[in-house]
Structure 1
Amino acid sequence: MAANQHSQQLFLANMAFKRRVTPLPTYVTWTGRWSQKNKNQLPPSPATRFDENAWEQLTLFDLDPDPEILRQRILMEDSELTRYCATIVADHARRYGWSVRQRNAVIQSLRMLQTLRPTPTAKIRASDVVTIRRYDGTITSTIDVLAEAGLLIEDIPTRVEKYFATKFIDSGALSPKMRQHLELWLQIMLGGSRQAPRQFPRDPATVELQIRGLAPVIQTWAEAGRQSFAEITQSDIVEALEPLPATGRHFAENGLKSLFKILKGRRLVFTNPMSGLPVRPVATTIPLPLDTAVIREGLDSPNPAVALAVALVAFHALSRKQVRELQLTDIIDGRLLLGAREIPLAAPVRTRLAVWLDYRSSTWPNTANPHLLINRRTAPRLVAAGHSYPWTNTAFRPQALREDRILHEIRATGGDVRRLYDLFGLSVDSASRYLRTIEHRDLT
């Protein structure tokens, strides 16, 4: 009552917008190419009032707008955000081969953002861009434009950060000090460190595997009432690792090794309890052949991307990463240039490659993406397709198909390890894994 004795001043949100009463400026007009007079120069962007420290109107009621009213609003609004980003949108469309439909969808998404935002002059959070998906907004391309314009505040956690929060933060079992130390470890693992001990950033997939190994060990310590990693001894580590399976123990040992190395380097623990403890090697499996009918079904897939990817792995044993990162310039005159290796493509691979290139050029004729395999999401950009593309439409994993191809080669050559090294670039240890299948009692 004391705070409200003089009443409160309320404001109506989204009132600071300008209706378009004049024709659009010339730099907004889309002509299919940038400029008739000078194609190498971009028109100057209009002045902006965007400020990352701008005062923000707090939300009084969480009320979803009427979709019909929103549709009418974005058709007539020419906001400062739309005018400021028009140059960048047109430049993106020219560089990445956007269709007119996609370009208009991005402009419509920018108008939608300006209409929904309570503070028109503040920078835009990526999480706010994601919310326009419910109104059929374009997410990824809009975020790219806002990032290049310098108007984006990146607040969406990555996959690894979400996984980290699920394993350690959401449960609430960790003490504040252990949580702080784990967050420091995650920050250094993903971003690297210039402070001693210096460290390069690790691959997010590696960090995720170490989080998976650390989770049961640290959960055990938290349930036992440990408040800090400085309390952990070498006997505690041995006792926590004992019940874990072989693969889980390998990941846990690597995670604990990196964790205590960072904490000891930052003087957050007195000693490194992992010092002197050997890391067990990961348990290896026996490669097994795939059903030929399943492989043939993938080779004859009506999806040209699936047929080409399966052919590259089935005939030349490329890994998932190698298929994903292949570029158009890596294939010259029927030969695949893969690092220092030059691979003559098999006839079935060349047939499926020709079909895919015809489909690619007809579906995305203006794309500037240099990668061989692209899809609807990556065609307007320069990035590679996702890790699961196009394998979600197959009945097997690419690693299993690759093992089938190498297994066939080691059997056909009678155990010639040098042939595996020349054809597939395998190391001696990797080739020995396939060599052991020659005289295996269950595979003879």
Structure 2
Amino acid sequence: MAAKGHVVDLDEATRYGQQLYLANMRQPRLKKRPADRPIGRRSKRAVSTAFVPPTSQQLQLLDVPHDPDGVRRQALTADTDLIRYCADVVRTHGTKHGWSKRQTNDVIASLRIMQVLQDTPTAKVNATDVEQLSRYGGNVGSTLEVLDAAGLLNDDRQSRTEQYFAAKTADLPAPMVEQLEVWLEVMLDGSSTAPRRQARDPQTTRIHILGIAPILHAWAANGHRSLSEITQAQVREALPESGSQRNFAEYGLRSLFGVLKSRKLIFTNPTAGMATTRVNATVPLPLDTESVRQALNSPNPATALAVALVAFHALTAKEVQNLQLTDIVDGRLHINNRNIPLADPVLSRLTAWLNHRAVKWPGSINTHLFVGMRNAPRLGPVGRQFPWTNTDLRPQTLREDRILQEIHTNGGDIRRICDLFGLSVSAATRYAGTVAHPDLEKT
């Protein structure tokens, strides 16, 4: 250090290195309160529209774990242009979706915590960073909604299918993984270029991955680095002997090699001309009538309505989950090009549920028929298990029971149950085969 009044010797000062400084380590100063601003009650502010996030971001130098208590303390005084802008968005969004005051305040507090955790406090926020708020008691779901509504969310999350794919292909050779990623993209997003393909259900993709993953690892262990090296003989040799695993593998490999051939990533399709193995179909069995009756009379109005919709009209669990309020008009259910007159027991339970919903969530603008604590202040559907967790019945077995009763009542009329329940001919044949079953015949 140079003496007072003397010029600093830079060579001497930097002889042992230079002092580096970390950016954004000091909290921004709070703006002074204007003298004419009232100090008691909070004055109303106009919604800010001038905030623009920076185009550059501070790169992370060190991955240092945060102290939860320290983060919460810093969040109490955090104040940036982004927080002030988002606070207005939170209030507008919360009023529109019927949020409580507590939920609104929780989201504002979560935004303050998020700013403390951000390397660049005023930049767009990654969705994966928002998911870390649960460690500090923050509200993840509603914070994601607000940031998305404000245009400040960078959604870098992977879907469950993508995470499952990454876990199953982590140890495969790089050329093989690149080919698989092309197939996965086509399966999830479809293709608008020739040959065009529609996107498949994520569950279908997961089943394909489940079937082909062991085979791919076996080929990689034998020295294959690319799927273009695989022959039809190797495909036949790698298939399981029988059962559902063989069926999953056959359909998965046909889909995989079909996409790669259409994208000209392999020379020939080794699964071309190969027949698929039929899986033995299970025999649908009737349910105990008393258990169905108890579920229909459940004290939970959502459970009673869901059970009634499946027990009387054989809706699938996905159809029940995604039902909209506008799908029911004048006592008729309009779904999948079907016009279904609702049975009287369904209508009475529908009225009870709508009355309960109006009292429980009067401010909800969610258009789905079924809402709960999680989705009432939002626009998405309920979870897959709602409201079946309140009963021992499963929607698929209840649906099979309804179709089974119908096929036995009409004497095996396949065309009728296809029109009534929207089944394919092959699916209807599975139920028609039970008409002559000695254990299922009516006495």
**Under a length normalisation based on structure 2, what TM-score does the superposition of the two structures give?**
0.87
Letter aligned with residue 59 of structure 1 = L
CA distance in 1, matches of 2:147, 2:265: 40
Letter aligned with residue 352 of structure 2 = V
Q: What does residue 104 of structure 1 align with?
A: 105
**If you compute each CA radius of gyration, which structure gives the higher value, 1 or 2?**
2
Pick which of 55-64 and 297-306 moved more: 55-64
CA distance in 1, matches of 2:148, 2:241: 47
Q: What does residue 85 of structure 2 align with?
A: 84
Q: What does residue 264 of structure 2 align with?
A: 267
Letter aligned with residue 431 of structure 2 = Y
Q: What does residue 186 of structure 2 align with?
A: 188
**1:189-208 matched pairs, under 5 angstroms:** 189-208=187-206
Q: What does residue 39 of structure 1 align with?
A: none
Q: What does residue 408 of structure 1 align with?
A: 405
Report if the CA contact (8 A) 2:190-2:197 is conserved: yes
Q: What does residue 59 of structure 1 align with?
A: 62
Matched residues, percent identical? Answer: 49
CA offset at residue 201 of structure 1?
A: 2.3
CA offset at residue 162 of structure 1?
A: 1.3
Report if the CA contact (8 A) 1:210-1:255 is conserved: yes
State the secondary structure of the residue aligned to 2:334.
strand
CA distance in 2, matches of 1:342, 1:187: 36
Equivalent residues, number = 422
CA distance in 2, matches of 1:357, 1:284: 39
Letter aligned with residue 228 of structure 1 = S
Unaligned runs of 5+ in 2: 1-14
CA offset at residue 441 of structure 1?
A: 3.6
CA distance in 1, matches of 2:340, 2:403: 15
Q: Say which of 213, 221, 224 aligns to 1:223.
A: 221
Report if the CA contact (8 A) 1:57-1:119 is conserved: no
1:109 to 1:14, Cα distance in 2 relative to 1, 3 A:
farther
CA distance in 1, matches of 2:283, 2:234: 33
The answer on 1:6 being equivalent to 2:27 is no
The answer on 1:144 being equivalent to 2:145 is yes
State the secondary structure of the residue aligned to 2:369.
coil
Report if the CA contact (8 A) 1:50-1:151 is conserved: no
Letter aligned with residue 51 of structure 2 = A
Per-residue Cα deviation, 1:65-116 (whole angstroms, up to 9, x for no partner): 31xx544543443322212223432332233222222222211111111122
CA offset at residue 134 of structure 1?
A: 2.0
CA distance in 1, matches of 2:107, 2:188: 31
Q: Say which of 239, 242, 257 aligns to 1:241.
A: 239
**Under a length normalisation based on structure 1, what TM-score does the superposition of the two structures give?**
0.87
1:84 to 1:191, Cα distance in 2 relative to 1, 3 A:
same
CA distance in 2, matches of 1:181, 1:325: 34
Unaligned runs of 5+ in 1: 36-41
CA offset at residue 167 of structure 1?
A: 1.7
CA distance in 1, matches of 2:211, 2:392: 28
Report if the CA contact (8 A) 1:14-1:119 is conserved: no
CA distance in 1, matches of 2:43, 2:418: 54
Q: Say which of 355, 359, 383 aligns to 1:386.
A: 383
Q: What does residue 178 of structure 1 align with?
A: 176
Letter aligned with residue 112 of structure 2 = R
Q: What does residue 424 of structure 1 align with?
A: 421
RMSD, aligned CA: 2.6
**1:102-181 matched pairs, under 5 angstroms:** 102-169=103-170, 172=171, 174-181=172-179
State the secondary structure of the residue aligned to 1:156.
coil
Letter aligned with residue 163 of structure 1 = Y
